[in-house]
Amino acid sequence: MNELERLLSAPAFFDNPYPVYRKLRLEQPVYWSDTSKSWLLTRHADVLAALRDPRLSGRRTTAFIGEQLPRDWQQVVEPLRTQLTTLSASPIRRTIRACVAS
């Protein structure tokens, strides 16, 4: 496990993630996390590009939560996952994509 992966999974990250976000933004602004099996984007331009790209989807979060997170963290994250899943299937998601597409 590399240093960034250790930082991303440390309890201190969940208390205050901003120092790790800053490190990511400076050193690896587009970062593949083996732990979360996902890309982490830390620059505004990269996030906008991802939101504009219809090939990218948040549907993989369910698999990650079920397969990768320890059971106690699954309970913590589940309400957020439910909200994000609802958002991704809603007209609000289309509105967000439309706003960033202009």
Q: Mean pLDDT over residues 35-55, rounded? A: 83
Q: Phi and psi of 42, rounded to 5°?
A: -120, 0
**Is the predicted pLDDT of residue 18 greater than 90, yes or no?**
yes
Amino acid, res. 23: K
CB-based contacts of 46: which residues, under 8 Å, 6+ apart? 29, 30
Averaged pLDDT of the chain? 79
Stated pTM of the model: 0.56
Where do the domains of the chain lie? 1-55, 57-102
**Is the predicted pLDDT of residue 39 greater than 80, yes or no?**
yes
Q: Which of 10-14, 47-51, 54-58, 71-75 has the lowest mean pLDDT?
A: 54-58
Q: Quickly state the pLDDT bin for 87 (edges 50, 70, 90).
A: low
